[in-house]
Amino acid sequence: MPDHDLAAKIRAAQAGDTLAREHLIKTHQDFINAIASRFKGQSLDRYNDDEWSIALLAFNEAIECFQEQHGASFRSYATRVINHRLIDAARKEKRHRYQPLEVRNAEGELLPNPVETELSWQAFRETELVRERTEEIRAFEAELSAYGISFQNLAKTCPQHSDTRARLVQVASLIAADPALRRELKRTKRLPLQALCQATGLSRKVLKSGRRFIIALTILLAADEYVHLRDFFDLPSSGGEKG
């Protein structure tokens, strides 16, 4: 089902269209079964295995609670909700504490559990955050390697004094904001020392000793994708696009 059709069906189901909900469940039975089977480690009997029933209820919950503005795809979110419910059920069975996995109103209609819904979103966001940070680090390592820099030797050259660090951050910010300086750095893999000495008043010795740190910060500041790493290094927003 194309993504735009899927989104329309979800919105219709959330608005009370039972046929849309049934269609979503019917067309995703193999998807639900694959997740539950992978969790159990074997194929499921849809008529007898509890995991199938739990996964089906979780998928229905995912339909009810999915929010497009969170930025996640529906299937990614549904996978997280199903796995969360299966893990929760397994823990409760192990501890012999059987609690309902659903919330119903006075008329017996199934309602989303707000606490469980938020926990599902929180778990999903945490997983996505780890994935995003991992991807950033890999991309950053690849860029650093072009300059003969690794995380290990970068850590060894990080300035210990706050004033020294502040001066080097200013140098990196200057390069990141200047397309000509960025191009020169990218082309030669060396700091444009003469231009930087004139612009900052710092000596060549200071700039050379801080080379790895300056280049690393320039990479982070000049690109939009390093959001998490800029936060880690306590840097401002990107100073420009890579050139």
User: What's the mean per-residue pLDDT of the chain?
Assistant: 81
Classify 23 as helix, strand or coil. helix
Say if CB 221 and CB 243 are below 8 A apart: no
As a residue count, the chain comes to: 243
Cα-flanking dihedrals φ and ψ of residue 108, to 5°?
85, 10
Confidence of residue 16 (pLDDT cuts 50, 70, 90): confident
What's the whole-number mean pLDDT along residues 117-145?
Answer: 77
What's the whole-number mean pLDDT along residues 222-230?
Answer: 83
On the question of pLDDT at 209 being above 60, the answer is: yes
pLDDT value for 96: 45
Residues near 123 by beta carbon (within 8 Å), at least 6 away in sequence: 80, 84
Angle CA 137–142–144, to nearest 5: 90
Say if CB 210 and CB 171 are below 8 A apart: yes
- Range from 110-124, 163-177, 195-209 carrying the lowest mean pLDDT: 110-124
pLDDT in tens, 108-127: 665 555 666 666 666 667 77
What is the phi-psi region of residue 49: left when phi exceeds 0, alpha when psi lies from -120 to 50, beta otherwise? Answer: beta
pLDDT in tens, 27-80: 999 999 899 888 878 887 776 778 888 888 899 989 988 887 666 788 888 998
Spatial distance between the Cα atoms of 102 and 83, rounded to a whole number of angstroms: 15
- DSSP letter at 70? G
Say if CB 81 and CB 74 are below 8 A apart: no
- Containing 110, the helix (H) or strand (E) segment is strand 110-111
Say if CB 154 and CB 99 are below 8 A apart: no
On the question of pLDDT at 92 being above 60, the answer is: yes
Q: What is the Rg, in whole angstroms, of the alpha carbon atoms belonging to the chain? A: 26
pTM for this prediction = 0.50
- Containing 104, the helix (H) or strand (E) segment is strand 103-104
Selected residue with higher pLDDT from 237 and 50: 50
